[in-house]
Chains A and B, each alone.
Chain A
Amino acid sequence: MAKSTRNRPASTRESNARQTNRPPQIVQTVEQSVQQLNGRSSGLQNVGNPERAISIAAGAILAALGLRRRDATGVFIAGVGSALAFRGITGHCSLYQALGANTCPCDADRDDGVEVSASFLINKPAEVLYSFWRHFENLPKFMSHLESVSELDRGRSHWVANAPAIYGGKVEWDAEITADEPNKLIRWRSLPGADIEHRGSIQFTKALGDRGTNVRVEMEYRPPAGKLGQWIAKLFHEEPKQQIHDDLRRFKRLMEAGDILTIVGQPRGTCTGHGVRES
């Protein structure tokens, strides 16, 4: 099993252009992503770009001067210079973080989407898994945030996801299949005009020996610009990474055992003398 979540830069059409002005995105943990989405300080950029340029230049000059002195004071100066340069290159200042300061305007245009992936070994042949998944209307049987998927025509489908408290409780989009290699791969993406941009793929690879099929799912969701903070927590019931992992586990269970066991509805006590049903 493996899974990863990354914050992706910029959802909008000009994203590529803007991306080139940015430092390389650092792979984050989900916890960091969620903190960032919630607007809390993260371990990432908190120094504005003009200030970073000054920081790098000043740091480099100090380091050079320090190294030329060839004495203890020089080492100290060079150290300070290196730290400044490092701060400029990474865009992250620990002192700012400690003080709660932030000179980066990045928050205003932070409309990153969420990309998650998960993989599972499923003890069934690829043909069985592919044909179940290829009928997208099956997906809500194991994907907890999907309410329905209906197939339209020409590889297009209509998706409805539960999203309590936004967009009247639901988000909807039309999607099209962009790649379809039987028993190997399916890719799909939302069509323009969707409530959210969504793209996904599933790959089926034969596992070693008689172990079945390795299944890897990647999904990406991008809300309209600026909406992510409110949106993300409401679409997913838990952390996105955990949720996709759990969804794929449910897929595995449905395929291998034919059912997904639940305890909802079983009896339980209350320690008051009268029990209830598990909810």
Chain B
Amino acid sequence: MKALTWCAPYKVSVEEVPQPKILNQRDAIIRVTSTCICGSDLHLVDGFIPFMKPGDILGHEPMGIVEELGPGVDQSKIRVGDRVVVPFMISCGECFFCRRQLYSCCDNTNPKSSIGEAMHGQATAGVFGYSHLTGGYAGGQAEFLRVPFADFNLQKMPQEFTDEQLVFLTDIYPTGYMAAWQCDIKPDDTVAIWGCGPVGQFTIRSAALLGAGQIIAIDDEQKVPERMQMARDGGAITIDMHDEYVYDRLMDLTGGIGPDACIDAVGMEAHGYTAIESLYDKVKTNLFMETERPHAFRQAAMCCRKGGTLSVPGVYGGFADKIPLGAIMNKGLTIKTGQTHVHRFVPELLEHVKQGRIDPSFVVTHRLPLSEAPRAYDMFRAKEDGCIKVVLDPAA
């Protein structure tokens, strides 16, 4: 089968690899019908997460049709021929964390937990196509995918919607939703969101679904006018970080107290707000003295109102410098973060789609064959051709 593999920083290729097979009792094999490129794939491809090996198959946003089930799969839950979405995190459903619906913290699905223990103290769940830090599982940018604990992980989907309307339930729609949900939004709250990429877009719409009074989105009007327009279409007021003072504008919009919730939907590869800060992080990351460029997080902490919430769906991998802990402590901020507990949100978010409150396909700008994935990565990274979200078609 065809699969997209990582070969070196900034280099991916489409290769012919063996078909996946059942390796554990409760595995399923999925024929992938749609699979997406995620912003966090760029962190991996660009070498920001140092646990990639050449030949690793990428991709953690796939959906498809069940082709084969292992002998241990509970067939009252999942059957051959079912149309399914595959959450990007792999969970067991039985451990301490899964019982508390903290599915991305599952204890039992990461075969390489010792790496996570060394790096972070404790390991997260396994993730498809997301480096050896999360288990080294083959990813979903391929024609077929093996899914462990299939009767727990696979999410059955109805037939009446298109792939584009459902496929984002794998990751970015629940990720944007959890980012807003964990801010405990009240009707008179102002929510500010850094980053108008795909997760930022879903965060904007989720904040609206959760009843936020005012939504503000921050990005660069010069570089990504199409993303800023999409944010405005979703009901957000936009701040152009290129031409405006973000802090001043946020204070203007909130009567000087700052946003109640500040959400960093950018993560580790942020581009800076001031030349000195940018240069500082660039030098440190290039010397491996720092693994992140946390500009968005720093600014969010400085802008957030006293007693407010900082929510971080943006991905970080290691260590960051110059975190304004003084602002966080003295203002009494609450930090909420985490890889997304996808399974927890799928039923509720599917219901929003069914009720017509959201059509997740709004974010799609490109649908390309899997064979063109290397070009799609370059386009997505450079934000060329108005690229916001790419869906790949393995059958094309």
Chain A interface residues (CB < 8 Å from chain B):
121, 123, 211-212, 242, 245-246, 249, 252-253, 256-278
Count of chain B residues with a beta carbon within 8 Å of a chain A beta carbon:
44
Q: Which of B107-115, B289-297, B383-391 contacts A (4 or more CB under 8 A)?
A: B107-115
The 8 Å CB contact of A271, one of B15, B19, B142, is B15
The answer on a CB contact under 8 Å between B57 and A252 is no
How many angstroms between the C-alpha atoms of A265 and B17 in the bound complex? 12
Distance to closest chain A CB from B74 (angstroms): 11
Interface contacts beyond A260-B24, A267-B18: sample of 15 additional A-B pairs, CB < 8 Å, sorted by A = A249-B113, A252-B108, A257-B92, A259-B24, A261-B24, A261-B90, A261-B149, A266-B137, A266-B146, A267-B1, A267-B17, A270-B15, A271-B7, A275-B17, A276-B55
The answer on a CB contact under 8 Å between A273 and B15 is yes
* Chain B contact surface mostly: loop
Residues of B within 8 A of A276 (CB): 17-18, 55
Distance to closest chain B CB from A250 (angstroms): 10
In the assembled complex, B95 has its CB within 8 A of some CB on chain A = yes
The B2-20 residues at the A interface (CB cut-off 8 A) are 3, 5, 7-8, 13, 15-20
In the assembled complex, B262 has its CB within 8 A of some CB on chain A = no
The answer on a CB contact under 8 Å between A266 and B92 is no
The 8 Å CB contact of A267, one of B94, B99, B136, B138, is B138
Distance to closest chain A CB from B141 (angstroms): 11
Nearest-CB residue, chain B, relative to A276: B18
The answer on a CB contact under 8 Å between B94 and A257 is yes
How many angstroms between the C-alpha atoms of A278 and B132 in the bound complex? 13
How many angstroms between the C-alpha atoms of A260 and B72 in the bound complex? 13
The 8 Å CB contact of A261, one of B5, B19, B126, is B126
With A257-B149, A259-B26: A266-B72 Cβ-Cβ less than 8 Å: no
Residues of B within 8 A of A245 (CB): 114
The B109-154 residues at the A interface (CB cut-off 8 A) are 109, 111, 113-114, 126, 135-138, 142, 146, 148-149
How many angstroms between the C-alpha atoms of A208 and B364 in the bound complex? 48
Distance to closest chain B CB from A116 (angstroms): 15
In the assembled complex, B21 has its CB within 8 A of some CB on chain A = yes
